[in-house]
Amino acid sequence: MGLRNRFGIPGVISVIALVFAMVGGAFAANDQGGSSGSKATASKAGKPGPRGKTGKTGKAGPAGPQGPQGPAGPAGPKGDKGDAGASGSLGTPGTSVTTGPTGPGECQSGGIKVLSASPPAKVCNGTTGFTKTLPSGETETGGFAVNGTEFDLNGEKGSISFNIPLAAPLGATNVHYIDPILETTSDKCTGDNENPTAAKGHLCVYAAAAFDHFMPFEEIQNFGGTAGAAKIGAVLLFKKPAFEFPEEPTEPKPSGYIAGSWAVTAP
């Protein structure tokens, strides 16, 4: 009653307002620079919750079209020289060249045989060699043609010449005439007109064209008129026709033509 009477209601209200003002200032001071206990309480954060599961990766989309090729880049700098490689192992010594004498008929006037070659090779003296006689086992070839226009009733002859003579003539059993039309063959003559061949010590004559049956083949002869071949060649003898012409024919006598090739191999 004493305060009410002294200050009255307005005074009491003023006192209450002053108290609130003082309390508010104190709270403001705490917010700006108050005790550390109050600041820690005001700024303290809550604990994070557990991490969620990673979601599934989506499927990759289709690959896009290939882009254009880019320009070539500049050449890179030259690299350093590499180290030298290790030396290789020493090879085995080669075979020394060895020689020996030639065998009978291998060289006409001497020579040597290289024995270390495979097969051994002969080296003949060049002063004679192929220029004098055909060495043993060597082959030479040529061609022939016989034209029997209005030929003699006694038959027709043609000749072949060896470019390099043989060392010796060939006998009757060593000469052969191969005719595909007459179907004459020999195991000593396995070639043909395009590729004539002959066994060692044999002459093979291959007929390529026989346009007239009026010239049947008879024999291969040497130049002495007997069967065989001379050292320098041979004669091809064709038979007389199988019929007789009249002494004064009313028509031209028939003609014949035969051509081909030959091969001879020295004994």
Model confidence pLDDT, tens digit, residues 163-178: 999 999 999 999 999 9
Phi, psi of 175 (to 5 degrees): -120, 140
pLDDT of residue 175: 97
Instruction: Assign 262 a pLDDT band (cuts: 50, 70, 90).
Output: very high
| Cα-to-chain-centroid distance, residue 210 | 43
What pLDDT, in 10s, does the model give residues 214-254? 567 889 999 988 999 999 999 998 876 555 555 555 555 55
Helix (H, G, I), strand (E, B), or coil: what is residue 261?
strand
Q: Give the pLDDT confidence of 27-50 residue by residue, as tens digits.
A: 444 555 444 444 444 445 567 777
More confident call, 161 vs 20? 161
User: Is the CB of residue 233 less than 8 Å from the CB of residue 160?
Assistant: yes
Q: Rounded to whole angstroms, how far apart are CA atoms 26 and 21?
A: 9
Conformational region of residue 180, where left means phi above 0, alpha means psi within -120 to 50, and beta covers everything else: alpha
**Nearest-5° Cα angle at 62, 60 to 63:** 105
Give residue 216's pLDDT: 77
Give yes or no for residue 110 having a pLDDT over 80.
no
Measure Cα distances from 153 to 11, 12, 144 in Å.
Answer: 184, 182, 22
- Round to the nearest angstrom and report the end-to-end CA distance of the chain: 173
pLDDT at 2: 47
User: Residues 6 or more apart from 256 whose CB is under 8 A from it?
Assistant: 146, 147, 148, 151, 156, 211, 212, 214, 215, 238
Each residue of 54-102: pLDDT tens digit?
Answer: 777 777 778 888 888 889 888 888 888 888 888 888 888 777 778 877 7
Alpha carbon distance 106, 123 (integer Å): 9
Residue 191 has pLDDT above 70, yes or no: yes
Q: Among 98, 125, 121, which residue's Cα sits nearest to residue 111?
A: 125
DSSP run (H or E) holding 226? none
Question: Pairing relation of β-strands 203-210 and 175-178?
Answer: parallel
Nearest to residue 193, comparing CAs of 145, 236, 137, 255? 145
Q: Which residues pair with 139 in a beta bridge?
A: 265
- Answering whether pTM is above 0.75, one says no
For residues 20 and 44, the model is more confident at 20
- Is the per-residue pLDDT at 203 higher than 50? yes
Residues 6+ away with beta carbon under 8 Å from 62: none
CB burial of residue 36 (10 Å; 0-12, 13-18, 19+): exposed
Mean pLDDT in residue range 206-216: 70
